[in-house]
């Protein structure tokens, strides 16, 4: 969280909305921004907020993301909470149980297919908080975020400092020549960059 910078939320009461115990409707909060912006830290905050109200939570991550911990949501700074590592959205749904607040980290690892389970989870009147990188390493929209951002009740966009100039970063620049869309890595492979410094 120490490197996380600006936080922009589209609703003034977003925190109470996202962790709401009101079960009359499901709520979708999308947390996005470049790498090193504090997205996982915010998910861990949301879990603590819900649990302090006695609301049950369940957290998921993609099984291929083992950068910091295989079975926990873990931040670059070392904070961690238990999470289910799953291979695909169907496996995720099978493990939901009765949790009222469902959190999914690094949603871009699941691709466009993740969208298929979002509406059913919301119809179950659960609170859903989905985090990830909304732009790929070339700056293009990263599925499933275009759809998630359209449908979100609350959008929280985070930014960290640009690694070159310190201005707010919106891009995740890959530092190796690999054009695959998904390359798992941390500060060894990526830097946060502002618009001006991106791809320089």
As annotated, the active-site residues are: 106
| Minimum distance of Zn ion from residue 174's CB (angstroms) | 16
| Minimum distance of Zn ion from residue 192's CB (angstroms) | 9
Percentage helix, strand, coil for the chain under 3-state DSSP, each rounded to 5: 25, 25, 50
Cβ contact 135:170 at 8 Å: yes
Taking the least distance from each CB to Zn ion, the nearer of 67 and 164 is 164
Q: HSE of 55 in the Cβ direction (CA atoms, 13 Å)?
A: 22
165, exposed or middle or buried, with CB in 10 Å at 0-12, 13-18, 19+? exposed
- Residues near Zn ion (CB under 5 A) are 162, 164-165, 167, 194, 197
Taking the least distance from each CB to Zn ion, the nearer of 46 and 171 is 171
| Minimum distance of Zn ion from residue 42's CB (angstroms) | 23
Question: What letters, b where the CB count within 10 A reaches 16 and e where it falls short, cover 33-58?
Answer: bbbbbbbbbbbbbbbebbeeeebebb
| Minimum distance of Zn ion from residue 58's CB (angstroms) | 37
CA 35 vs. chain centroid, Å, equals 10
Taking the least distance from each CB to Zn ion, the nearer of 69 and 167 is 167
Taking the least distance from each CB to Zn ion, the nearer of 87 and 165 is 165
């Amino acid at each position: 969280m120490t490197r996380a910078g600006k936080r922009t939320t589209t609703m003034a009461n977003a925190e109470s909305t996202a962790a709401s115990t009101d079960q009359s409707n499901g709520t979708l909060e999308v947390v996005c921004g470049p790498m090193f912006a504090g997205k996982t830290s915010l998910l861990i905050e949301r879990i603590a907020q819900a649990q302090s109200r006695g609301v049950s939570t369940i957290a998921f991550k993609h099984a291929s993301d083992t950068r910091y911990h295989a079975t926990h949501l873990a931040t670059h700074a070392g904070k961690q909470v238990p999470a289910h590592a799953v291979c695909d959205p169907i496996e995720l749904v099978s493990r939901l149980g009765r949790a009222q607040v469902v959190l999914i980290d690094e949603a871009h690892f699941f691709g466009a297919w993740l969208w298929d389970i979002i509406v059913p989870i919301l119809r179950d009147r659960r609170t859903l908080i989905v985090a990830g990188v909304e732009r790929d390493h070339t700056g293009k929209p990263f599925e499933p975020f275009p759809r998630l951002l359209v449908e979100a009740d609350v959008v929280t966009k985070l930014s960290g400092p640009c690694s070159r100039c310190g201005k707010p970063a919106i891009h995740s620049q890959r530092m190796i020549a690999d054009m695959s869309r998904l390359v798992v890595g941390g500060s060894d492979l990526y830097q946060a960059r502002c618009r001006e410094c991106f791809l320089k």
